[in-house]
């Protein structure tokens, strides 16, 4: 019996090795293949313009496999009457997610939805109470309010977490981190502006109603209703009268546009021209929104005190 067992033992050992190679080896390879497929999964996020890009790169910071591209050039500014270019359409063809401001800023959005019905779209201004002008038209410049920008950051993070659930916790953690910075910025600006007695300002175009509401400032007049379109002689006359009647000493131009109209008014009234940036262009650093807003604080403190 022992002799027979001794003869069978090598055969049994070889069989076990073959079986383990077929079983365990296959399972290990499957696991490696599965891990590789997860690690290679990439999500391409495209943003419509600069302020949305800055919010989105803060939400997606350090998340592996998530790429963020801004569709428009950094110097584009607000998307008033913006027309999609062939390059824009090519960029969107590669996108998994398109993050937009919404509230009517991207007039081309219907075209995008029609051409790419499966593209996931995040509207950052969803749920934000919009300000209407005297004609009843909704103002889309919500990001210029720090409080509303915080809501936009939360919207972007929450929607990305639903779309890419594997990174849900990271999106929300990044949003929490960035929101703390924005809340600190808001506190700093309130401390700088709340005690100012002169609360009348003349802005360049209608980008600042949400900002003015947040910091209890009164926009007495707007130099240009549409950026890049010079005011008519009658509009200039009315703005000059407002400045004189209200004894306003400062008016604000925007760094993205020519200050020619503002300088004309300044010569007529003796008011000084300062800069107030609507944060529609700048560098691609994570803190650029905060840095620009701090420059706005400095400009307002100098102009109004």
pLDDT of 10 above 70: no
Select from 121, 154, 182 the last residue of a domain.
182
Q: Is residue 2 in a domain?
A: no
At 299 the three-state DSSP class reads: helix
Of 212, 277, 264, nearest in space to 235 by CA? 264
pLDDT > 90: percent of the chain: 74
User: Based on the domain organization, do 143 and 49 belong to the same domain?
Assistant: yes
pLDDT of 20 above 90: no
Handedness of CA 142, 144, 148, 154 (dihedral sign): positive
User: Based on the domain organization, do 211 and 297 belong to the same domain?
Assistant: yes
What is the C-alpha to C-alpha distance for residues 271 and 220, in angstroms, rounded to an integer?
14
The strand pair at 250-253 and 272-275 is best described as parallel
Indicate the pLDDT class of residue 40, thresholds 50, 70 and 90: low
What is the C-alpha to C-alpha distance for residues 162 and 189, in angstroms, rounded to an integer?
33
User: CB-side exposure of 115: number of CA atoms within 13 Å?
Assistant: 15
Q: Is residue 38 in a domain?
A: no
- Token readout for 294 is 């701090």
pLDDT of 83 above 50: yes
pLDDT of 64 above 60: yes
Can you give the CATH number for the domain in which 162 is found? Answer: 3.40.50.1980
User: Based on the domain organization, do 164 and 92 belong to the same domain?
Assistant: yes
Q: Is residue 76 in a domain?
A: yes
User: Based on the domain organization, do 146 and 242 belong to the same domain?
Assistant: no
At 138 the three-state DSSP class reads: strand
Of 156, 153, 143, nearest in space to 177 by CA? 153
**16-25, 41-50, 196-205, 250-259: least confidently modelled range:** 16-25
Q: Is residue 37 in a domain?
A: no
Q: Is residue 20 in a domain?
A: no
User: Based on the domain organization, do 291 and 248 belong to the same domain?
Assistant: yes
User: Based on the domain organization, do 202 and 165 belong to the same domain?
Assistant: no
Number of domains forming the structure of the chain: 2
Cα-trace Rg, the chain? 28
Indicate the pLDDT class of residue 128, thresholds 50, 70 and 90: very high
User: Based on the domain organization, do 295 and 270 belong to the same domain?
Assistant: yes
Indicate the pLDDT class of residue 287, thresholds 50, 70 and 90: very high
What is the C-alpha to C-alpha distance for residues 273 and 80, in angstroms, rounded to an integer?
24
Q: Is residue 35 in a domain?
A: no
Select from 130, 147, 182 the last residue of a domain.
182
Q: Which ranges of the chain would DSSP assign to H, the alpha helix?
A: 2-39, 50-59, 86-93, 109-115, 146-163, 168-193, 209-214, 233-246, 260-269, 288-304
User: Based on the domain organization, do 205 and 88 belong to the same domain?
Assistant: no
| Own/partner pairs, 220-228, CB within 8 angstroms, 24+ separation | 220/246, 220/248, 223/251, 223/253, 223/261, 223/262, 223/265, 224/257, 224/261, 226/80, 227/77, 227/78, 227/80, 227/254, 227/256, 227/257, 228/257, 228/258
User: Based on the domain organization, do 147 and 174 belong to the same domain?
Assistant: yes
Of 215, 302, 288, 202, nearest in space to 246 by CA? 202
Indicate the pLDDT class of residue 232, thresholds 50, 70 and 90: confident
**50-64, 77-91, 112-126, 225-239: least confidently modelled range:** 225-239
Q: What is the pTM of this model?
A: 0.85
User: Based on the domain organization, do 141 and 177 belong to the same domain?
Assistant: yes
Select from 155, 182, 209 the last residue of a domain.
182
What is the C-alpha to C-alpha distance for residues 231 and 258, in angstroms, rounded to an integer?
12
Q: What is the pLDDT of residue 28?
A: 30
Q: Is residue 58 in a domain?
A: yes
Q: Is residue 23 in a domain?
A: no
Domain that holds residue 261: 190-304
Q: What is the DSSP letter of 142?
A: G
What is the C-alpha to C-alpha distance for residues 301 and 44, in angstroms, rounded to an integer?
41
Mean pLDDT in the chain? Answer: 87
Q: Phi, psi at residue 220, to the nearest 5°?
A: -75, -30
User: Based on the domain organization, do 170 and 203 belong to the same domain?
Assistant: no
User: Based on the domain organization, do 169 and 86 belong to the same domain?
Assistant: yes
What's the mean pLDDT in 212-217? 97
Q: Phi, psi at residue 99, to the nearest 5°?
A: -100, 120
Say if CB 254 and CB 141 are below 8 A apart: no
């Amino acid at each position: 019996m022992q002799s027979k067992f001794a003869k069978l033992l090598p055969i049994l050992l070889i069989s076990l090795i073959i079986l383990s190679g077929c079983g365990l080896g296959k399972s290990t390879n499957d696991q490696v293949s599965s891990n590789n497929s997860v690690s290679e999964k990439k999500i391409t996020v495209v943003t419509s313009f600069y302020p949305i890009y800055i919010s989105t790169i803060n939400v997606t910071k350090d998340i592996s496999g998530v790429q963020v591209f801004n569709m428009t050039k950094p110097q584009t500014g607000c998307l008033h009457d913006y027309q999609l270019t062939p390059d824009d359409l090519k960029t969107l063809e590669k996108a998994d997610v398109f993050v937009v401001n919404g509230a009517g800023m991207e007039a081309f959005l219907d075209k995008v939805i029609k051409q790419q019905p499966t593209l996931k779209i995040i509207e950052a201004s969803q749920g934000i109470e919009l300000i209407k002008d005297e004609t009843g038209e909704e103002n889309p410049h919500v990001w210029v309010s720090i409080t509303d920008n915080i809501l936009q950051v939360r919207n972007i993070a929450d929607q990305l977490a639903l779309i890419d659930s594997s990174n849900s916790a990271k999106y929300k953690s990044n949003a929490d981190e960035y929101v703390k910075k924005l809340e600190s910025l808001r506190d700093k600006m309130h401390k700088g502006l709340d005690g100012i007695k002169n609360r009348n300002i003349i802005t360049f175009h209608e980008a600042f109603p949400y900002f003015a509401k947040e910091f209890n400032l009164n926009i007495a007049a707007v130099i240009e209703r549409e950026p890049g379109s010079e005011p008519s002689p009658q509009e200039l006359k009315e703005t000059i009268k407002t400045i004189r009647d209200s004894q306003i000493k400062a008016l604000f131009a925007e760094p993205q546009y020519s200050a020619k109209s503002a300088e004309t008014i300044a010569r007529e009234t003796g008011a000084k021209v300062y800069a107030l940036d609507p944060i529609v262009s700048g560098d691609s650093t994570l803190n650029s929104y905060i840095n620009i807003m701090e420059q706005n604080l400095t400009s307002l403190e100098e102009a109004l005190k």
